[in-house]
Amino acid sequence: MKHSKFFDNLAEKWDAMEREDIGRRLSRVVAEAAVHPGQHILDVGTGTGVLIPYLLEAMQEEGHILAIDISSGMLEVAGRKAFPANVDFLQADIAESGLPENRYDRIFCNAVFPHFTDKSKALSEIRRLLKPGGRLVISHPIGREAVNSLHQGAGGVVAEDRVPSAQVMISLLEAAGMIDVLVVDEPNFHLVLGDKAVAGS
């Protein structure tokens, strides 16, 4: 089974799945990313759009969010949520999105990074899409260990999908050309930030 089909099958149940204290954790992800009004934001693997309200709040509704996902089922649920006109959706794989380069101030990957089939390719593409000075934000609000055991327990196509160690993560981001890579690895919160150099292209 492909990842898209796996998440299609989860789409209608996704929002009802219990995630302890998730609002506070998602607010923290957005705060640590330093989102500002007027920014252009890409929400990769948006799912049902769980992160979008927190982004909109930080942007004070000014700016634009493009939310992409490979799962049509997830996007259908997200599309029913009546988000404002500055939120658009696109069915696409981040590794080959075809989006314009140097476009985004912030690119979020919330609870999606382990599912990327080719992580290096996805990171190179993300760097291409970021504006010089833009920031990549990879987050797992329930923590690295919890995500990894969840995937192992779920089995099937996600069984081997892992949040890499901090060391591997830093190597992957630096190999993709990101700078100032920072990893926050707490028991119940995992965050990776990496910037595209201001002079980069």
Ligand X SMILES: C[S@@+](CC[C@H](N)C(=O)[O-])C[C@H]1O[C@@H](n2cnc3c(N)ncnc32)[C@H](O)[C@@H]1O
Chain residues that interact with ligand X, rule: CB under 6 A: 3-4, 7, 44-47, 50-51, 68-71, 74, 93-95, 110-112, 115-116
Tokens of 143: 């923590």
Give the E-state strand segments of 93-178 in sequence order.
104-110, 130-140
Q: How far apart are CA 29 and CA 54, in angstroms?
A: 9
In the complex, what is the shortest distance from the CB of residue 199 to ligand X, in angstroms, rounded to a whole number? 28
Tell me the C-alpha to C-alpha distance, in Å, between residue 139 and each of 1, 46, 200. 25, 12, 24
In the complex, what is the shortest distance from the CB of residue 127 to ligand X, in angstroms, rounded to a whole number? 15
In the complex, what is the shortest distance from the CB of residue 145 to ligand X, in angstroms, rounded to a whole number? 16
Tokens 């707490």 correspond to 186
Phi, psi values for residue 124, rounded to 5°: -65, -40
In the complex, what is the shortest distance from the CB of residue 177 to ligand X, in angstroms, rounded to a whole number? 19
